[in-house]
Amino acid sequence: MRLMRIGAPGNEIPVVEHGGAHHDLRPVAADIDGAFWDGGPDRVRAALAAGSLPLIDIAGRRVAAPIARPGAVICIGLNYVAHVAESGAQPPEHPVVFLKRPNTVGGPDDDVEIPEESVKTDWEVELGVVIGATAAYLDSPQEALTRVAGFVLVDDLSERTYQLEISGGQWSKGKSLRGFTPTGPVLVTPDELDHRDLRLRSLVNGQARQDSSTRDMIFGVGELIHDLSQYMEQEPGDLVITGTPEGVALSGRFPYLADGDTVEVEIQGLGRQRHRIVRRAGRGAEV
């Protein structure tokens, strides 16, 4: 099942992509939020089989994040060996966890505003995991995979000065700026996507940056959800992002993002994002 949300911020319509067409999900789902995962996919399948969902034309309309109001955005750091090396760190013995504010989640192609004084905004293509059932004190990575509702493409944008230089060792300052978690365009359920070997890429102004595979993760999806469940309860609708591969600006190999730059990220089977970086106007420019 491939789920999307279409429309202006605050007025998104839940949609399912099926047989090359898009269907309006509002007859069976208010939105694709935490509550949806309690029986929602079965209602969608039944409605598709019955032919009861109206078609919807999404051409020219804003593509929103395919999930609404996640209760948490839980992030894994340093989960690809080559990225650990380019960050000047050591491979972790246990997953490195930090949090982003849920209100950072935006549409895949929305402009992203960076602070007026930002000089170190960086891109991070990541496989996102949407939680479909409560995950707490799980027994195994295999059990953890039964809690996965689906997968999404995420750009974990990061302001490195805030994250690393004025952070006191806590990363959230550099991760929680407005719009810093472009998500989507589509959520794909696990029955339609093998997440273990997917190509991930990023480009800036059309030039290649990251190009790796999810098979290079240090801790796999099941291991991550299992490990997290020992420390926090993951709820339906939560988003877990699983770390980024090498090829970010932090490596020193590429310039950081500037006003007017275009970032593209993509994951095999999960589509592509294209967002423009826009520097926030200074206070002097506000009327």
Under the criterion CB under 5 A, does residue 31 sit at the interface with Zn ion? no
Total residues in contact with Zn ion, by rule CB under 5 A:
3
Contacts with 101 (C-beta within 8 Å, 6 or more apart), sequence order: 73, 172, 176
Determine contact, residues 186/39, Cβ cutoff 8 Å: no
The nearer residue to Zn ion, 63 or 73, going by C-beta atoms, is: 73
- Cβ at position 177, least distance to Zn ion in Å: 14
Q: What is the distance between the alpha carbons of residues 131 and 242, in angstroms, rounded to a whole number? A: 13
Tokens in use for 29? 């789902």
> What is the dihedral angle through the alpha carbons of 103, 78, 240, 9, rounded to the nearest 10 degrees?
30
- What string marks each residue from 144 to 183 as x (binds Zn ion by CB under 5 A) or -? ------------x---------------------------
Residue 55 has what DSSP assignment? B
Determine contact, residues 3/16, Cβ cutoff 8 Å: yes
Q: Output Rg (C-alpha) for the chain, integer angstroms.
A: 18
- Cβ at position 54, least distance to Zn ion in Å: 38
Q: What angle do CA 60, 66, 72 make, to 5 degrees?
A: 145
The nearer residue to Zn ion, 124 or 264, going by C-beta atoms, is: 124
Query: Which amino acid is present at 59?
Result: A
The nearer residue to Zn ion, 37 or 180, going by C-beta atoms, is: 180
Tokens in use for 167? 């952070």
- Cβ at position 209, least distance to Zn ion in Å: 14
CB nearest Zn ion: which residue?
156
Under the criterion CB under 5 A, does residue 118 sit at the interface with Zn ion? no
The nearer residue to Zn ion, 113 or 124, going by C-beta atoms, is: 124
In the list 124, 155, 238, 266, the residue contacting Zn ion (rule: CB under 5 A) is: 124
- Cβ at position 224, least distance to Zn ion in Å: 13
Residue in this structure with the two tokens 């380019």, named with its chain if needed? 86
- Cβ at position 156, least distance to Zn ion in Å: 3
- Cβ at position 126, least distance to Zn ion in Å: 5
Task: Find, among 13, 33, 32, the residue nearest to 23 by Cα.
Answer: 13
In the list 32, 244, 245, 264, the residue contacting Zn ion (rule: CB under 5 A) is: 244
Site of interaction with Zn ion (CB under 5 A)? 124, 156, 244
